[in-house]
């Protein structure tokens, strides 16, 4: 039976009890719905997709329409809706959505939706969140959602004098900017300040750049900021006598930061004959490598973004903007380095911190157009863009910890092996139980190649 059209998706919670082996999971999940939520869903990975979805529904009160959306039913992205989102649409493109479990953020349990194609990311983040859970979970904070819009001015005869003239008329500039988004101002946001930077030289000559500092509230803010920059550009030309060229936001959102802190007891790191102290030392050496070497830091930070990007995609936000801001921020000292910091506290615990720009929204854009994005936000139950950003940075720190632990213990390839084998098995035409059997035998033989998968599949079929 195709999951996409599974009639059980409109059934009550009790429908999950068709599988006696997992009925206990569902009863416990229903109890949690009435009391404190618990993202520590033991055995979650052993369930089938329908059973997992029933547990997620019980955790956070999703309704049957939400379930149909997540299973690609009538609530998924239609071609008609897609045609209104971007240009030249010919179809839609699906990616897997998984749920990272075990997350506890500021004392609240969260199930974190992740849309991603790479194996091990969801499992790694879930495992690392369990380690962090042993130390009290993630603790987060964030700055106000301030973004910068830039207006580039050239052919300014006296740039220093022009700078003073712009600042003297700041109130007028801010009033004009805020007239473009009265709803944002009504929510307590809007343009807050004006700054001016002078660049005496560039490949094209000197320029003056005016900044609008905008509080975006719960929006990502790109459209509002760009509209403000367009509106004030003629006034800035009048003030300076120059010509305005670019009028656009900056994705280096270094005033819109999200922070997460995690403590991992050394005892929680014990694994496969390795003591917790041995694993902790390996993790610290992995961090030290990234802290000093840009070649390693690039892959290290990719591991952080492995956790963040899937949440950004799941919630309909702009992962390209977040990526750009993150990597620029990693270079702010003049050398590209690790976004995260790992230390040992007085008790010997591992302590990880991550602070980085995170411009996300829960209103506007694809977050209000794509049905799956709306369902993902409902599942997260976030009340502000700042709260979403803080969950994203927790997912990034968890993914970072998972990758370093794997590298310190058995190497990253070992963790990927099983899922990679499944992908190859499916690529050569295996279906259903044959996928698992072909993958199992390739892993046992340590020969995970398409040619071997074809041979094994032929053996099984005959």
**Helix 433-445 to helix 450-461 angle, to the nearest 10 degrees?**
130
Calpha distance 315→84 (Å, rounded) = 18
pLDDT at 59: 85
What's the pLDDT tens digit per position in 356-374? Answer: 999 999 998 888 889 899 9
Q: What residues contact 446, with CB distance under 8 A and at least 6 apart?
A: none
Is residue 2 scored above 50 in pLDDT? no
Q: Is the pLDDT of residue 140 over 50?
A: yes
Q: What residues are annotated to the active site? A: 118, 302, 318, 416
408 within 8 A of 423, measured Cβ to Cβ: no
Higher pLDDT, 54 or 319: 319
pLDDT value of position 196: 98
Q: Kindly state the percentage of the chain with pLDDT values over 70.
A: 90
Q: What is the largest CA-CA distance in the chain?
A: 84
| Helix intervals (H) in 293-370 | 294-314, 319-329
Q: Is the pLDDT of residue 416 over 70?
A: no
- Residues making up the chain, counted from first to last: 462
Mean pLDDT across 212-239? 97
Of residues 408 and 22, more confidence is placed in 408
Q: What is the pLDDT of residue 27?
A: 37
Residue burial 374-403, b: 16+ Cβ < 10 Å; e: rest: bbbbbbbebeebbbbbbbbbbbbbbbbbbb
The residue among 411 and 369 whose pLDDT is bigger is 369
Q: Which residue has the tokens 């003297």?
A: 168
Q: What is the rounded distance in angstroms from the CA atom of residue 425 to the CA atom of residue 430?
A: 6
> For the chain, first and last CA: distance in Å?
25
Sorted by sequence, the CB contacts under 8 Å of residue 268 that are 6+ apart come out as 131, 134, 135, 276
Going by C-beta distance under 8 Å and a sequence separation of 6 or more, which residues neighbour residue 255?
143, 144, 146, 147, 148, 213
Q: Which two tokens stand for residue 395?
A: 């997912």
Q: pLDDT tens digits, residue range 303-314?
A: 999 999 999 999
**Phi then psi dihedrals of residue 439, to 5 deg:** -65, -45
Mean of per-residue pLDDT scores for the chain: 89
pLDDT > 70? residue 26: no
Tokens of 317: 């936000």
Distances (CA, A) of 207 to 155, 241, 249, 328: 7, 12, 17, 22
Section 169-182 average pLDDT? 97
The pLDDT confidence band at residue 10, using thresholds 50, 70 and 90, is very low
The band of 73, judged by pLDDT with boundaries at 50, 70 and 90, is low
Cα three-residue angle 442-444-448, rounded to 5 degrees? 30
397 close to 264: Cβ distance less than 8 angstroms: no
Residue 6 gets the label, from left (phi > 0), alpha (psi -120 to 50) or beta, of: beta
Task: Give the pLDDT score at 14.
Answer: 29
Q: Does the structure show a pLDDT above 90 at 143?
A: yes
From 14-18, 180-184, 242-246, 248-252, the region with the lowest mean pLDDT: 14-18
Q: Sign of torsion, CA 105 111 113 114?
A: positive
pLDDT at 5 over 60: no
pTM of the model: 0.84
Instruction: For residue 427, name the pLDDT band (cuts at 50, 70, 90).
Output: very high
* Predicted pLDDT of residue 36: 72
**Confidence category of residue 423, pLDDT binned at 50, 70, 90:** confident
Between 6 and 284, where is the model more confident?
284
**Of 53 and 190, more confident:** 190
Q: In the prediction, which pLDDT does 240 show?
A: 98
Min mean pLDDT across 3-12, 133-142, 417-426 is at 3-12
């Amino acid at each position: 039976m195709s999951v996409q059209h599974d009639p059980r998706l409109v059934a009550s919670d009790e429908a999950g009890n068709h599988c006696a082996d997992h009925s206990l999971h569902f009863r416990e999940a229903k109890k949690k719905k009435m009391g404190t939520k618990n993202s520590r869903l033991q055995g979650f990975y052993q369930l089938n997709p329908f059973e997992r979805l029933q547990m997620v529904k019980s955790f956070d009160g999703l309704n049957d329409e939400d379930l149909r959306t997540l299973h690609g039913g009538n609530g998924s992205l239609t071609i008609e809706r897609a045609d209104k989102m971007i240009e030249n649409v010919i179809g839609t493109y699906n990616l897997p959505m998984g749920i990272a479990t075990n997350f506890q953020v500021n004392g609240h349990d969260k199930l974190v939706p992740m849309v991603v194609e790479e194996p091990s990311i969801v499992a790694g983040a879930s495992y690392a969140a369990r380690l962090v859970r042993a130390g009290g979970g993630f603790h987060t904070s964030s700055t106000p959602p301030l973004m910068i819009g830039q207006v580039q001015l050239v052919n300014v005869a006296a740039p220093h004098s022009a700078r003073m003239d712009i600042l003297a008329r700041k109130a007028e500039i801010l009033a004009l900017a805020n007239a473009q988004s009265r709803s944002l101002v009504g929510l307590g946001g809007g343009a807050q300040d004006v700054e001016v930077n002078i660049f005496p030289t560039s490949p094209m000559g000197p320029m003056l750049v005016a900044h609008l500092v905008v509080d975006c509230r719960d929006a990502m803010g790109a459209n509002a900021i760009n509209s403000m920059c367009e509106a004030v550009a003629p006034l800035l030309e009048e003030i300076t006598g120059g010509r305005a060229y670019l009028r656009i936001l900056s994705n280096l959102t270094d005033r819109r930061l999200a922070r997460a802190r995690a403590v991992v007891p050394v005892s929680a790191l014990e694994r496969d004959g390795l003591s917790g102290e041995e694993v902790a030392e390996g993790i610290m050496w992995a961090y030290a490598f990234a802290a000093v070497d840009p070649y390693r830091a690039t892959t290290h930070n990719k591991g952080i973004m492995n956790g963040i990007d899937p949440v950004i995609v799941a919630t309909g936000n702009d992962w390209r903007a977040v990526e750009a801001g993150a990597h620029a921020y990693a270079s702010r000292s003049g050398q590209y380095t690790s976004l995260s910091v790992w230390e040992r506290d007085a008790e010997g615990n591992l302590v990880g911190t991550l602070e980085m720009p995170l411009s996300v929204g829960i209103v506007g854009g694809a977050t209000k157009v794509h049905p799956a994005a709306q369902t993902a936000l409902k599942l997260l139950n976030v009340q502000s863009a700042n709260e979403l950003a803080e969950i994203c940075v927790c997912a990034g720190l968890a993914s970072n910890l998972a990758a370093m632990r794997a590298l310190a213990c058995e190497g990253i390839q070992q963790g990927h092996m099983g899922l990679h084998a499944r992908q190859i098995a499916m690529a050569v035409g295996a279906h259903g139980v044959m996928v698992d059997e072909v993958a199992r035998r390739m892993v046992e033989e340590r020969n995970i190649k398409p040619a071997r998968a074809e041979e094994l599949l032929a053996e099984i079929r005959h």
